[in-house]
Each structure stands twice: as C-alpha cells, then as structure tokens.
Amino acid sequence: MRLGYTLMTEQVSPPDLVRHAARAEEVGFDFEVMSDHYFPWLDEQGHAGYAWSMLGAVTQVTRRVELMTYVTCPTKRYHPAVVAQKAATVQLLSDGRFTLGVGSGENLNEHVVGGGWPSVDVRHEMLVEALEIINGLFDGGYVNHRGQHFSVESAKLWDLPEVRVPIAAAVSGPASIAKLAPLVDHMVAVEPNADLVQQWSGAGSRGERKIGQMPISFDRDREAAVRRAHEQFRWFGGGWKVNSELPGTAGFAAASQFVRPEDVAESIPCGDDVSAIVEAAAEWREAGFTDLALIQIGGDTQEEFLTWAADELLPALAES
C-alpha cells in the first residue's frame, strides 16, 4: 500500500501549502492529494485557497511524487470542459504525475454559484455526463455535446499531454460504482470498506488503484492532539450523506455541537503512538486499498509532523 500526504486547502494558507508539498516529497511520501474547496468545513480551519493555482505551484516545487485532486466536483462551480483543460495543463506541468480525482460534490462548496443543490440522483447524473465530456476531450479532437445538464460547443484541448490524465472517482456504494467505474480509471473512498473494493474490481474500470484517506492528529502531547482534532475535525464522523448536504460552516458547527473530544479520539488516532496509526492503516490495507493518503490535522503542525513522519511514522508503516 502506497502512502500519501494530504495537502488540505482548508487548514493552511496557499504559500504554506506549497512549502509543505515540497517537504512531504523530501521526507518520502509516495503521492500527494489536494482538496478542492471554496469553504473550510468549520470556521476554526480558517482557509480555502484555490486548489488549481496551488497545484500549478506544487508541480514546480516537486519532481517525484504523484499529484491528485481529492476531489474536484466537475458539475456546479466548474464546467466539465474547463475541468478537462485544467487537468490537462497540470498533467503537462507535472510531467505526467497528475490524477484527476472527481466526485459529486458538497453543498458547502458548490452553493456559491447560486444554482441550487440538486438531489443525489441528479448529482450522479450530472457527474456521469461530465465524465463523458471530460473523456471526450482527453481523447483529442473537437467535442460537441447537447445533454440533459451540459452543453459543449466545438471544444478542443489544444495542449494535450502525452500521458493521458487518469481519472479517479469517489464512490459510496453499488449504485455509484455501477455508474462511474466504466468511465474512470481508479476508485476513491473515505472508509476502509472491503465490499466497495470487491464491487469495484468487477465493475469495468480502466485501472486498479483504490485510494483512501485517513485523518490523524499527531502531537507529542496527546491531550493537545485530541483538542485540535475535536476543534477542527469533529464534522468528519457525520458521514457522506450529511456532509454533502450542509450549506455552510455554521451548519457543520451545529451538526457537530454534541460531538465530544473523546468521541473524536475513538475514530481518529491522536498523539505520537506510531502503533495506533499502523493499526488503523492496516484496516485499509486489509480491505484491499492500494493507496492511503494521511491527513495531519492542524495547519500549524505540519512541519513537526513531516519531520516525525520521516523519522518514525513512514519507517514503521513500511515495515508493517
């Protein structure tokens, strides 16, 4: 299982995020994923820079690590034709190291353009149509499209990379797998669910990567780690069905107001106990995931975390 580092746009400033990307490659992470948000989940996180500008910068301060959006919604804030152009450009700038991760989005980020928030079945319809457009543009030549949700008139990508941009799709169950797998290369999921992996393997995707993500809260002081995880990540346990519907940070604060620090600590490894993280990561490996990106909670803790990861965490995970 390959190990990745999450460039979480919601918790650090753009200059700091680019610096952390260079350092994460230096300490030995295999790949880096970047969130694509207009809002943080909670006010306490305090940031939400534009992911695609930062991705361009990251391509120039790294040389080895693979890069990925985790994940972009190509249906509301962005038109799919523009997403295809952005992805192809990042692939060129990174010399073939980029994967376009896509999902059906969250109201939190997509409401800002004022188009309303569709029901989940409509969002899946829109994502399928968007992927058809993006794939067509990646194929080269002109694309014209008149669909239920999108129109494209004589679009063409004039700067196509030699290495086609792989696409990974976020899924949550059999319905989304059946619709999305035939249109993409790899799977994204945020829980170590072996059933999802098994369903994906027979669903007709073009590739075999299964890419997960796991938050941790490293600190030499475990109580401080738990406090920080509760302050900034208590929303995490709400689940996809809730997290995709809430419209703003106030909604996430209200939905998580009764979550206690000890509740967060039960689901997120906190402190500097390497064995606890190794044990949590093993669940993903045993479920069949090929890649796991770690989130270190807390923007001001990244430098210390990356040094600790190089010295203790990554060697222990590699050994396991």
Candidates 32, 52, 63, 75; CA nearest to 211 is 32
Task: Say whether the peptide bond before residue 171 is cis (omega within 30 degrees of 0).
Answer: no
Out of 20, 37, 111, 186, pick the active-site residue.
37
When computed from its CA atoms, the radius of gyration of the chain, rounded to whole angstroms, is: 19
Q: Quick one: CA torsion of 285, 287, 291, 297, rounded to 10 degrees?
A: -80
First to last CA, the chain: 10
**How do beta strands 167-170 and 151-155 pair?**
unpaired
Q: Pick from 97, 30, 9, 35: which is nearest to 60 by CA?
A: 97
Give catalytic status of residue 106 as yes or no. Answer: yes
Q: Which of 25, 66, 106, 110 is catalytic?
A: 106
Neighbours of 85 (CB within 10 A): 18
Let me know if 262 is a catalytic residue: no
Give residue 234's identity as a one-letter amino acid code. R
Active site residues: 37, 106
